[in-house]
Structure 1
Amino acid sequence: MLIRAAVPQGHHPWLPPPIAPALAVVQKVPPAAISCRLGTPQLRSLKTSNGLCKARRRVRYDEEEDEEEDTEEHGQNSEMSLMEAYSEAVRDVALVVRATVDGEEETVLIFKGFSSCLSSRTAYDPSKSVLPARAVIECIDVVRGPFDPSNVEYLEKGLTWEAFKTRLQSNNR
């Protein structure tokens, strides 16, 4: 559908010059091209008279509706915060944490103050803890950073949370 607006006869400098109706090109845009991401071949091939067709992008997350429920259930994990602070202070090591959440084993990598879940999806929100408060930490491996999964150099392996916690307390003194 083409919408025509009434343009006054006098030209205003802030408006582009009017286009003669014979020179105007109207191109139908297929619905698939509108919903696709920018930069795909379909969208790149759509040309208008003044350049590339522009589209607005909106990031969509699968679990937007469940976010409010998930934050109440998820909770902030203070143990993860302590380990992130430790890895930020000791920058040449990475921590591989194995924990259990509701009977499922989770593996988390912590390096330079940031944590990422290796066994499942990491939340997009960095203020949200990777492991929920109800997680039980099984063991912690200290590896040389930066972490290279093809060549893991273990400095310490199989530390319990209690042993690692005493290390944190002795470093704070």
Structure 2
Amino acid sequence: MAETYMNMGYTILTSPMIPIFPKEINSLKTNRSAIVVAVKAFKFCNYRRAHRISCAAARRRIRYENDDDEEETENGYNEEIAMLEIYSQSAREEALIVHALVDEQQVEVLIFKGFSSCLSYGTSPDPSKSVIPKRAVINSIDRIKGPFDPSNVQYIEKGLDWESFKSRLAST
């Protein structure tokens, strides 16, 4: 930002947004022009920061569209997990443990503050891939106090079925 101290005739600009002044402004030799340019540079810097934050807000989503059905069923996008990730962003003081069935195997997924991680096997480092595939069936959900501490799990609600939890999501 720019500040002028007691009409002493100098302007302080904080970095990293020190503007490059055009010749016309330099020839005017007024502090008012320097302040206007500095404020415009500050607004541009804030716009870039806001744009960067909004782009980083997206969690797991499909990045690649392909027609290969085998690839889609193997690593398909699970909309139910995405809904739970969005819910956990607003309920920041709690975590969710999701019990699901994938190919007749019981799988547990932990969701906290918009991020999900599989507790039964390794989680892919690629954020475009869902933690569990699209074909997974959610059996129940446990609401616990966050952050998750496996040695001291404090349940808020245990064993909620997916349909009742989905109706709660729709009502909020």
Q: How would you bin the TM-score normalised by the shorter chain?
A: 0.5 to 0.7
**Equivalent residue for 1:76?**
77
Measured after TM superposition, the shift of residue 111 of structure 1 is 0.1
1:148 maps onto 2:120 in alignment:
no
Name the aligned partner's letter for residue 138 of structure 1.
N
Specify the SS of the correspondent of 1:97: strand
1:133 maps onto 2:172 in alignment:
no
1:95 maps onto 2:96 in alignment:
yes
Name the aligned partner's letter for residue 129 of structure 2.
K
Contact 2:89 2:112 in 1 (8 A): yes
Identity %: 59
Contact 2:73 2:135 in 1 (8 A): no
Find the aligned partners of 2:105 and 2:132 in 1 and give their Cα distance: 12
TM-score (norm 1): 0.58
1:123 maps onto 2:127 in alignment:
no
Specify the SS of the correspondent of 2:74: helix
Higher relative contact order (CA 8 A, sep 6+): 2
**Equivalent residue for 2:108?**
107
Unaligned 5+ runs, structure 1: 1-67
Name the aligned partner's letter for residue 86 of structure 2.
A
**Equivalent residue for 2:158?**
157
Aligned length: 104
Measured after TM superposition, the shift of residue 71 of structure 1 is 5.0
Deviation sequence 1:122-156 (CA, Å, 0-9, x none) = 01101211010000001000000000000000000
Deviation sequence 1:39-85 (CA, Å, 0-9, x none) = xxxxxxxxxxxxxxxxxxxxxxxxxxxxx864552210000000000
Counting only pairs closer than 5 Å after superposition, residues 18-57 of structure 1 correspond to structure 2 as none
RMSD: 1.3
Find the aligned partners of 2:100 and 2:147 in 1 and give their Cα distance: 21
Specify the SS of the correspondent of 1:140: strand
Find the aligned partners of 2:75 and 2:89 in 1 and give their Cα distance: 24
**Equivalent residue for 1:9?**
none
Structure with larger Rg: 1
Specify the SS of the correspondent of 2:164: helix
Specify the SS of the correspondent of 1:137: strand
Contact 2:144 2:155 in 1 (8 A): yes
4+ residue runs of structure 1 moved beyond 2 angstroms?
68-73
Specify the SS of the correspondent of 2:85: helix
Specify the SS of the correspondent of 2:157: strand
